[in-house]
Amino acid sequence: MLHSQSAEIIPSRWYNVVPDLPEPLPPPRSGSEEKSSIELLNSIIPAEMLRQEFTFNRYERIPDEIREQYLQVGRPTPLVRAVNLERVLGFSGKIFYKFEGATVTGSHKINTALPQAFYAAQEGVPEIVTETGAGQWGTATSMAGAINGLRTTVFMVKVSYNQKPGRKTVMGLYDGTVIASPSDKTDFGRRVLREKPDHPGSLGIAISEAVEYAISNGYRYMLGSVMNSVLTHQSVIGQETIAQLEMLGETPDALIGCVGGGSNFGGFVFPFIPGNRETEMIASTALEVPKFSKGEYRYDFIDSAGILPMLRMFSLGSDFVPGKIYAGGLRYHGSAPSLSILIRNGRIKTDEVGEEEVITALKLFARTQGVVAAPESGHAIASALRYVRNPDNAGKTVVINVSGHGYLDLGIFGEKK
Amino acid sequence: MLHSQSAEIIPSRWYNVVPDLPEPLPPPRSGSEEKSSIELLNSIIPAEMLRQEFTFNRYERIPDEIREQYLQVGRPTPLVRAVNLERVLGFSGKIFYKFEGATVTGSHKINTALPQAFYAAQEGVPEIVTETGAGQWGTATSMAGAINGLRTTVFMVKVSYNQKPGRKTVMGLYDGTVIASPSDKTDFGRRVLREKPDHPGSLGIAISEAVEYAISNGYRYMLGSVMNSVLTHQSVIGQETIAQLEMLGETPDALIGCVGGGSNFGGFVFPFIPGNRETEMIASTALEVPKFSKGEYRYDFIDSAGILPMLRMFSLGSDFVPGKIYAGGLRYHGSAPSLSILIRNGRIKTDEVGEEEVITALKLFARTQGVVAAPESGHAIASALRYVRNPDNAGKTVVINVSGHGYLDLGIFGEKK
């Protein structure tokens, strides 16, 4: 039998890569001397999140309530051997894919949304707040809020808000309140609207609004990616994959995933790192967002508004404006600090794929495996196709992380821009 | 642990309810003396389908290739205990749901599309043909064609074709050729268009076009529901559910599903029937399509054009035109003959739910379990909520079949018609 998805596969602890990094993880830093953005962060995220952000513990126990919630949302997700894809490619090795799109909210984002909402609920706040661009994070946050008894407010970049009615609908089903950003709900939003009433919005503005709204109401702010605690939560992906491969008696030669802020990728590959120098790990980014080839390794702001702290990471600059690509989740200018270290020291390799090639890869994956993958995940699939088509890799075993489904992003298959 | 989805749960044989029915299954009948629609059917469906249609065998071995394909498309599907829903309802019993929406094509339809495409491929034809209304069946057929090396042509009711661009896109990803019906590809379509160039189409017209196109080209026609062989293939749903409940040590008091032609419902409940008189089985239909309360039990045409044979079944008349409801899959006028017999003799109960109540149920299910279910499945969920809220059913164990996800049918949550 080719896979197993028994509930026992859900791990009992999260894996934190920090103690296994080749150098210490540079801590977040405040961008300004007078106004500490670290203190700001501390005041809007749950204390338990803050502890996990700075811990050196290799493992953190997953609370029973969260394991139960993971089960409820569709964990463990399937690990499937892509036999039809192998056949069509004439590949002599094995291709597996881990399918995070099988969670009920359709992407890996739910893996960290659940614990963050749970910790917020434990602190007695009535509401959680975040921003969303492409929509996956707002969807996961709304659902996590709903099942943890919290109201959820999502500031959604206005241009996405108008282009993606399906995303709004789904967040609404989870009782999320979705506000087009810039909005009249915050001082910052009102200021932007005064200057430019038809402003299309940006992730930076949406973050600023969400943070202001959280502070002024005493609510908790939810972190979607980049932060170490978020990557730790996402380690359920890689740990499940390890267990599933072991049950099949398989050892992977290569792990391939896509990188926006780095959370699905880190969550997928980091658990393979301890005691392993053999498995290739390939981080696939958008050619249009060349953060690893053209970005600098330096302290830069998490958000374009400079409200949240700075992180030491590969960055194209927090004011970087990428060309329009459908993989909204990959448009982010930076990448998680831990991932950046492992890319700098060569443990993790990188690849860059343009949108045309991604569309071709998504189509092949749909036609052979039936999976309508998210545009972001299409980058991982495209990089995997490059790997498999390289004659040097004949006979190898590859695992792709398919971070989400693409049912709410079918525009990528529409008419050309 | 609350569930298990190990591959071993996929059954090795299909279950055919015919030998366990309280009376013989009335065979399909030709509607006309001169022109036998039975012979017509025989000439366009694979011989193996025809054999399965008339067999009295209780079990049919599932070919290894099909078991492998089931695994590829996401079987076994999860059986999840809906603990959040139980909590919100304050229900003292247990609610489980079987989630067919977790298959890669998003509904149960793939369970029969795969074997039918496989048998067609074995007969050496290059192409399979069918019609689709709501779109789930065309989606499953296209994907089944793709992985069995066949071209697929889908005649899609024009009004759906125009209203559901996402469905077209997904079928196209599976290399399906989607043709708006009425079309200029068939004599029948051209005749309709001559009389009424802006005809919105109907399932009857689409069936007529698909059958004509299959005959004139020597292709194979795919049966979406109602026929006994189709219900037999769908028995994987119920058999998996039995295995999953056994692993949990649970015995269901009630099984609840929705009924269009009856294939997801029959596939879900029939495997529970042998030697079991205790488990309640509730078939939920649309109040707007009251086939069991207002329909007659008689021979009636499968399709409104009267091209395919007649079946003895509950029917509102093959010319029945339901009001507009989003659950397109439930608008069918009839119901599978085996299901009709079991409803007549009282073994299976019925329930009718209107669209407003269905929308409320879908919202509650999303908010508690995170699942965006298909409008059709919303009827099953609504009937389950009625069951659970009945004080007589306190403490009972209920299993709902959620036949599909609703990501491509979010219109039901939009503005009121």
Confidence of residue A5 (pLDDT cuts 50, 70, 90): low
Number of residue pairs across A and B with CB atoms under 8 Å? 129
**Cβ distance B173 to B139 under 8 Å?**
no
Top residue of B410, B412, B413 to mutate, by most chain A CBs within 10 Å, is: B410
Which chain B residues contact residue A165 at CB under 8 A?
Answer: 410, 414
Top residue of B9, B75, B142, B147 to mutate, by most chain A CBs within 10 Å, is: B147
Which chain B residues contact residue A372 at CB under 8 A?
Answer: 104, 170, 173
To the nearest whole Å, the CA of B70 is away from the closest chain A CA by 11
- pLDDT of amino acid B238: 98
Which chain B residues contact residue A102 at CB under 8 A?
Answer: 74, 102
- Quote the CA–CA distance of A70 and A62 in Å, as a whole number: 10
Chain B residue closest in CA terms to A244: B6
pLDDT digits (tens, 9 = 90+) for A375-404: 999 999 999 999 999 999 999 999 999 999
Chain A residue closest in CA terms to B97: A72
Reply yes or no on whether the pLDDT at A221 is more than 70: yes
Candidates B148, B153, B125; CA nearest to B138 is B153
| Facing residue for A73 by CB, picked from B2, B4, B370 | B370
Mean pLDDT of chain A: 94
Top residue of B111, B141, B168, B367 to mutate, by most chain A CBs within 10 Å, is: B367
- Quote the CA–CA distance of A344 and A350 in Å, as a whole number: 10
- Quote the CA–CA distance of B127 and B218 in Å, as a whole number: 9
Fold of B70-106+229-415: Rossmann fold (3.40.50)
Residues 6+ apart with CB under 8 A from A215: A40, A43, A44
**Omega prior to A76 cis, within 30 of 0:** yes
Report the pLDDT averaged over residues A7-30.
Answer: 94
Candidates A393, A383, A389; CA nearest to A352 is A383
Indicate the range of A406-415, B256-265, B310-319 predicted with least confidence.
A406-415
Fold of A11-64+109-225: Rossmann fold (3.40.50)
Judged by CB atoms closer than 8 Å, whether chains meet at B414 and A146 is answered as no
pLDDT digits (tens, 9 = 90+) for A81-90: 999 999 999 9
Judged by CB atoms closer than 8 Å, whether chains meet at B166 and A407 is answered as yes
Which chain B residues contact residue A362 at CB under 8 A?
Answer: 173
Cβ atoms within 10 Å of B395's Cβ, excluding its own: 9
Reply yes or no on whether the pLDDT at B416 is more than 80: no
- pLDDT of amino acid B237: 98
Judged by CB atoms closer than 8 Å, whether chains meet at A6 and B8 is answered as no
Share of chain B above pLDDT 70, in %: 98
Q: Where are the domains of chain A?
A: 11-64+109-225, 70-106+229-415
Residues 6+ apart with CB under 8 A from B32: none
Chain B residue closest in CA terms to A409: B166
Q: Do domains B11-64+109-225 and B70-106+229-415 have the same CATH topology?
A: yes
Judged by CB atoms closer than 8 Å, whether chains meet at B2 and A71 is answered as yes
pTM listed for this prediction:
0.95
pLDDT digits (tens, 9 = 90+) for A286-327: 999 999 999 999 999 998 888 899 999 999 998 888 888 889
